[in-house]
Amino acid sequence: MKFFKKNNNITVSYLVNNKISIFFGKIIKIKKFTFNVEKKIQGIKLNKIFFIKNPNLISLKNI
């Protein structure tokens, strides 16, 4: 089992509307049931919150 720490670069793949989405970013916060991933694109910060026990979450990988 892999453990993820704060400031690790990861890829998250998940299902949305029966389509697979992939999100690359850096972990900002890790809580008991959620973790936040931040991605910077041309100076704009995108924050996404993922639930650990979400059935639509497919995989987490370190980059």
What is the reported pTM? Answer: 0.78
Handedness of CA 53, 17, 59, 6 (dihedral sign): negative
Smallest CA-to-CA distance from 57 within 5, 20, 10 is with: 20
**H/E run at residue 19:** strand 19-30
> What are the structure tokens assigned to 3, written together?
């453990």
For 14-47, how does the pLDDT look when each residue is reduced to its tens digit (9 = 90+)?
A: 998 999 999 999 999 999 999 999 999 998 999 9
- Position 63 scores a pLDDT of 83
Give the Cα-Cα-Cα angle 12, 16, 4 (nearest 5 degrees). 20
